[in-house]
Amino acid sequence: MRKKKELEESSKSYVKPTTAELPTEDFSETEMLLQWNKYAERLGQKGLKIMESLLLINDPVLNGTAITFELPNEGSKLDFEKEMHGILGHLRGHLHNHDITIEVIVNETYESKRSFNDQDRYNRLLEINPNIELLRTTFGLDIQA
């Protein structure tokens, strides 16, 4: 009898907390991007370089708790959707908000902003961080052509 009771108690299923009990703290787009990039880096360290590059191909956009992520084709979308539960769990846990959702948009006309020569690379870095111009002028650096 005792064994039967122990078996019944151990086989009771886990009851998932309702959404009212889960945390829904506010977070900024910067915090979301930081966690997004940390997750991508962790995938890269595990050897999942393709998934890492998919996550870093474009910056996601935050609208409330909905994250919109744009990918260049359907194949990328299918690969991303395989990993979507993992990144959702990571973001929900680290940002303490279980209302987060991800919407994937396929944009076939997406143009990659790749730099082809030194001047293009410098201009791209200057877009990202305008202080590079101060660094260049302070040390008298030139761009090699």
Average pLDDT (120-134) is 85
Q: Which of 76, 59, 62 is nearest to 26 (CA)?
A: 62
Q: In the chain, pLDDT over 90 holds for what percent of residues?
A: 16
Q: Which residue has the higher pLDDT, 3 or 40?
A: 40
Arithmetic mean of pLDDT over the chain? 82
59-115 pLDDT, tens digit per residue, is 898 888 899 999 888 888 898 898 889 999 999 999 888 888 999 988 877 555 554
Q: What's the pLDDT band for 16 if we cut at 50, 70, 90?
A: low
Predicted local confidence at residue 10, as pLDDT: 63
